[in-house]
A and B are shown apart, each in its own frame.
Chain A
């Protein structure tokens, strides 16, 4: 827990973090991704980084959601707000290699 307070960012091994029962699940994920408690303006810095944004913001929405998102009782996983999704998926570049037809198409183009 002391490592949290030091300024230097320690690289955590997620495999170990998962089984440290004294650390809350959301803190595990935060530490692993290198977002310590001390950066308060999480929401702003996250906009720049879409991928990290995906999982970190949820703790900040409301107290209520905090509980539901680490609960497997809820089947539907967390998704971003519509506006962000529309913006993000203007192109399918990031997942092009996941489709059989599309990957061949993009190979031809490049």
Chain B
């Protein structure tokens, strides 16, 4: 009542980066207020999947308070502590399980109890992370930061629109702090691997996708190994569907990733080819890690111990998404990132080194001696 000068909340505008903002708020312990969420839209306010995400946050934390305005365009979130535990979450049909698993990865290592969360719903989509993308693309990033025991099990696959899939996220590593990383080289790719999967359709589609991808990657100069993964019966969800995920694997443990799913009427060979081209693009436009992995890596570097972490990124990775990521991090943590051009004349690249000083975040559930 006495000093109302400073708002008790960190404020944001708009619906963008919704999950990241909630996650950063939870990690930092700072309450946030998000205003004007789709305020000019025909359907203003939070979407059902965002509400569902907030519910999930409520269940993995203790003491979180969420206030949503009458129109749904303003949210106040006061984070509690991350407790984790065993939960089951039914995802709405509007978003796949990947949408919910992704933010959980940021929180799980800093929990009080181990994370063991079963998520039911759609397991693949056009815009969100698929099961393989998380398993092969994001979990290796966590591993680099010291989270070694984490896994995502696919119990059932469920293609859109009806879903019926089920995945189990298990994170057994509980950290006080993520370790600092230094990656100043572009890691060399030694193999391309992938999986071509289908639910409730003819297995020939899977092989046709593989053929398409292999045709593109024929002369790439390394082994290409794509597995066929056909799901039938009970465990294959309620809708027919198919998709392919490809990764470029490196000896160092980093990897590059591309994935897509097929719509009804799409030609499997073309989807396979498209993903192969996307993988090539992703390799070209990546430094040590791909664009989809950048937010997770940068966030963990920011909350790392008070030490300098360095990561090589490509010029192409500095895009709008990168700018909004860094702005949100600064708004909540106050941490600025330093970008320096690589001045190594031997490998005529225009890569940059991101240098971040960790803010010394400590897991409030773990006491450090």
Q: In the complex, A77 Cα to B137 Cα: how many Å?
A: 14
Instruction: Report A62-75 CB contacts with B as 1/0, cut-off 8 Å.
Output: 00000101111111
Point out the residue from A28, A69, A99 that lies within 8 Å of B221, measured CB to CB: A99
* Contact across chains for A102 and B316 when beta carbons are under 8 A apart: no
Chain A positions 57-110 with a Cβ under 8 Å from a chain B Cβ = 67, 69-80, 82, 85-86, 89, 92, 94-103, 105
- What is the total number of residues of chain B having a CB less than 8 Å from a CB of chain A? 57
Shortest distance from the beta carbon of B230 to any chain A beta carbon, whole Å: 24
- Given A18-B337, A72-B324, decide whether A101 and B221 contact each other with a Cβ distance below 8 A: yes
Q: In the complex, A79 Cα to B275 Cα: how many Å?
A: 10
**Which of A1-9, A19-27, A41-49 binds B?**
A19-27
**Which of B79-87, B107-115, B155-163, B280-288 binds A?**
B280-288
**CB-nearest residue of chain B relative to A30?**
B320
* Contact across chains for B278 and A79 when beta carbons are under 8 A apart: yes
Residues from chain B with a CB closer than 8 A to the CB of A75 are 98-99, 102, 127-129, 133, 292
B182 proximal to A (CB < 8 A):
no
A51 proximal to B (CB < 8 A):
yes
Chain B positions 279-300 with a Cβ under 8 Å from a chain A Cβ = 280-285, 291-292, 295
* Contact across chains for B220 and A21 when beta carbons are under 8 A apart: no
* Contact across chains for A18 and B326 when beta carbons are under 8 A apart: yes
* Contact across chains for A26 and B277 when beta carbons are under 8 A apart: no
Residues from chain B with a CB closer than 8 A to the CB of A74 are 127-128
* Contact across chains for B324 and A85 when beta carbons are under 8 A apart: no
* Contact across chains for A96 and B221 when beta carbons are under 8 A apart: yes
* Contact across chains for A71 and B324 when beta carbons are under 8 A apart: yes
Residues from chain B with a CB closer than 8 A to the CB of A51 are 316
- Given A71-B321, A85-B277, decide whether A18 and B295 contact each other with a Cβ distance below 8 A: no
* Contact across chains for B281 and A85 when beta carbons are under 8 A apart: yes
* Contact across chains for A77 and B321 when beta carbons are under 8 A apart: yes
Shortest distance from the beta carbon of A46 to any chain B beta carbon, whole Å: 14
B222 proximal to A (CB < 8 A):
yes
Point out the residue from A26, A72, A89, A101 that lies within 8 Å of B280, measured CB to CB: A89
* Contact across chains for B325 and A72 when beta carbons are under 8 A apart: yes
**CB-nearest residue of chain A relative to B317?**
A77
Point out the residue from A26, A79, A96 that lies within 8 Å of B320, measured CB to CB: A26
* Contact across chains for A54 and B285 when beta carbons are under 8 A apart: yes
Point out the residue from A18, A32, A71, A105 that lies within 8 Å of B17, measured CB to CB: A71
* Contact across chains for B277 and A82 when beta carbons are under 8 A apart: yes
Chain B positions 131-150 with a Cβ under 8 Å from a chain A Cβ = 133
Question: Chain A CB within 10 Å — which of B220, B283, B330, B336 has the most?
Answer: B220
B216 proximal to A (CB < 8 A):
yes
Residues from chain A with a CB closer than 8 A to the CB of B127 are 74-76
Q: In the complex, A15 Cα to B323 Cα: how many Å?
A: 10
Q: In the complex, A29 Cα to B322 Cα: how many Å?
A: 10
Residues from chain A with a CB closer than 8 A to the CB of B337 are 15, 18
* Contact across chains for A100 and B189 when beta carbons are under 8 A apart: yes
A-B contact pairs, 10 of them (CB 8 A): A15-B338, A19-B327, A19-B336, A25-B323, A26-B320, A72-B321, A72-B324, A89-B280, A99-B188, A102-B221
